[in-house]
Structure 1
C-alpha cells in the first residue's frame, strides 16, 4: 500500500497565515477608515457643486428656454462645458439659484450632474430679487423677454430706485460675479451704476416712453394667470393694463370666465372694467355682464354736460379788458335775473 503524500500548503496561504499570526503576536491595531470631510465652499469662491444641492428661486418670473434656444445651449455645454458660473444664495441652510436656471436645466439635459458656482451670503430677499432681475437682463435683451418678464423687470428696477444708494454696490458686484475672470482686467465695467438705473435713464435704457413704463408697472400687479394670458396672446397689452385697475379678488373672476367659459377680452370690455373699477362701482355681477358681452356700454350719467359759450357771444357783451372771473359772475347774475322774471310771469298766469 502506497504511503500518503502530505499536502504542501501554497506560498500564498503560508504567507497569509504567517502575517495573520504576526498581527496577533505583535497586537497590531487595524487602521480604521478615515471618513472624508466635506467642506462647505466659502462665499465668493468659484467652486464645483452638484445640482441636486440647489433649488430654484421661489416665484421665479423668468421662463426657461425652449426649442432651438434650449438645444443650442445643450450643444454648447456638451462641447465646452458651463462657461459662466451659477450664482447661489446661501440662506436658512438652503442654496437657492439666483442666476443660472437655464444653465442648470440645459446642463442636466446634457448629462451633467454638477457645475461651477459662486455663493452669496448675507442678502435680503429684495437683494436676491435684484440679482435675479439684473442677471437675466444682462444675459438677454429686453425685446427677448415676454410681456410678464418685462413688467417684472421694470417693477423691480422701479423698487430698486427707492434704495438706490445701497443697491449701487450690489449692481457692481453682480457685474463682477458674472465676469469672474475679468474682474482684475477690467475693474470699471460698471463705473457709474447710478446713471445706469436712474429714473431719468429708464426710458432710454429700454427704449420705452414714460407712458409705456407706467403701463408695464401697472401690468406687473396682475395675478399670474392673467399674465400668462398676456404672454400667450389670449389677452392684449391694453386690455391687460385696463384690468390692472381691477381688485385682485375680482381679477380671479375675470380669469375664470376667460378660461372656463371661453370668453374673449377686447379693449371695449376692458375699458368698461377700467372705468367702473376707477369709480369704485365694479361688482362681480357687472364683471359677468361685461366679460360675457351683455353690457356693452356705460350707462348715461345724471350729471349735466358742460356747455361752452361761443366766442362771438362773449365779444358781443364783454370787452377784452374784463377778466374771466368777471365775465362768469356777470353771466351768473344775468341767469338769476332771467329765471326770476320767468318765475314771476308764470305765477301771474296762474293767479
Structure 2
C-alpha cells in the first residue's frame, strides 16, 4: 500500500494537467493524461535554445532512468509528421542511451508556436537558475520575457501548469511583471535595460556564432557587432573564420559591420586576414606634460586644437613637405 501511495504521488502533478482548462488556455490535453510514445517519434524543438546535458550530469540521468524509469513525463505537441518536444530533451537523450524504446508523454494539440516556446523556456528555468545559463541561453530567456507574443494571463497559466508538473514553485515574481520594456524585464534578473538590450541582440546571431559566444571563442562585444550583419553575411563570416582559423577582433567586427549589406567573400577574407589600415585607425596623439603646462595652461580644447593646427601647418610648410 505504501508503494502504491508513492507511485500515486509521482503522478499527482500529471493528474492536475488532465483537468479541463479549455476556459483558461487554447490547448487540449489527451484524456488520461499520459501516453507512451515511440521515443524516435519525438523531434527536438525547432531552434531549441538550450544546451543538452553532457558528461557526468548525463551519465547520472542515464543511470537513474535505468534504475527507476522516467518518473516525470515529457511534454510534446502534435505536429504533422509526429511530435515536437517541449519539455524533456535531456530525458529523451538519456532514455535513448539507456535503451528505452518508448517514453511517457503529455501531448498538447493545436498549440501555437508562441505558447510552445513558453513551455520550452519555463521548464528549463525550473531546472537551473538564470545565472547558471550560458550567454545564448540567457538571451533566449530574455527574448521570451520581452516579446509581447502572449497575454500575461496566458503566460501565467502555462507557467503554473509546468510548475505543477515539475513539482516545483514558480521562480521569481512572474505575476507581478508585464514585461513591457527592457527595464522591467531586467529587474527580475538584476540587469539594466541596456544589458537586456545587448543580450537580446544575441538572438540575432546565427546558431554557430551563439555557440562560440558560449564557449568563449567569440568575445561578447564582438558578437554584438556581428549581430548587426544579415544572416547570410554572418554565415559567410563564420565559414571564413573556420577556414582561416581566425579569431574575430573588435577591429575586424567594426569594419565588417560598417559594410553590412554589401559584404562579399573577398571583403570578408580581406578584413579577417589584414589589420586595419593605418589611415583607418583612429589616432590618439599625446602632448608631453611640460609642453602642455608651458603653452596650453588655462586654454580650452578648441583653442589648443587651433594652436596645434596652425603650428604644425607652419612647421610642415617650412619643411616643404606639408600634406594639406
Q: TM-score range by the shorter chain?
A: 0.5 to 0.7
1:64 to 29, 35, 52: 52
Distance 1:160 1:101, change over 3 A: farther
1:244 correspondence with 2:232: no
- Measured after TM superposition, the shift of residue 214 of structure 1 is 0.9
- Cα distance between partner residues in 2 of 1:118 and 1:74: 21
Query: Hey, what does 1:81 align to over in structure 2?
Result: 69
Give yes or no for contact 1:43–1:121 (8 Å, CA) kept in 2: no
Instruction: Count matched residues.
Output: 256
- Measured after TM superposition, the shift of residue 98 of structure 1 is 0.6
Secondary structure of the residue aligned to 2:43 is: coil
TM-score with structure 1 setting the length: 0.63
- Kindly report which structure 2 residues correspond to 1:273-312, keeping only aligned pairs within 5 A, or say none: 273-277=256-260, 285-296=266-277, 299=280
Query: Hey, what does 1:208 align to over in structure 2?
Result: 191
- Measured after TM superposition, the shift of residue 89 of structure 1 is 0.7
Query: Hey, what does 2:203 align to over in structure 1?
Result: 220
**Higher Rg:** 1
- Kindly report which structure 2 residues correspond to 1:137-148, keeping only aligned pairs within 5 A, or say none: 137-148=125-136
- Measured after TM superposition, the shift of residue 287 of structure 1 is 3.4
1:266 to 239, 249, 271: 249
- Cα distance between partner residues in 1 of 2:240 and 2:48: 26
Secondary structure of the residue aligned to 1:168 is: helix
Structure 1 unaligned residues grouped into runs of 5+: 1-40, 302-310, 314-351
Distance 1:80 1:282, change over 3 A: same
- Kindly report which structure 2 residues correspond to 1:112-131, keeping only aligned pairs within 5 A, or say none: 112-131=100-119
- Kindly report which structure 2 residues correspond to 1:24-35, keeping only aligned pairs within 5 A, or say none: none
- Kindly report which structure 2 residues correspond to 1:88-127, keeping only aligned pairs within 5 A, or say none: 88-92=76-80, 94-127=82-115
- Cα distance between partner residues in 1 of 2:279 and 2:197: 26
TM-score with structure 2 setting the length: 0.68
- Measured after TM superposition, the shift of residue 163 of structure 1 is 4.0
Larger RCO, structure (CA 8 Å, separation 6 or more): 2
- Cα distance between partner residues in 2 of 1:126 and 1:52: 25
- Cα distance between partner residues in 2 of 1:223 and 1:217: 13
Secondary structure of the residue aligned to 1:139 is: coil
- Cα distance between partner residues in 1 of 2:279 and 2:116: 45
Give yes or no for contact 1:54–1:96 (8 Å, CA) kept in 2: yes
Moved more, 115-124 or 67-76: 115-124
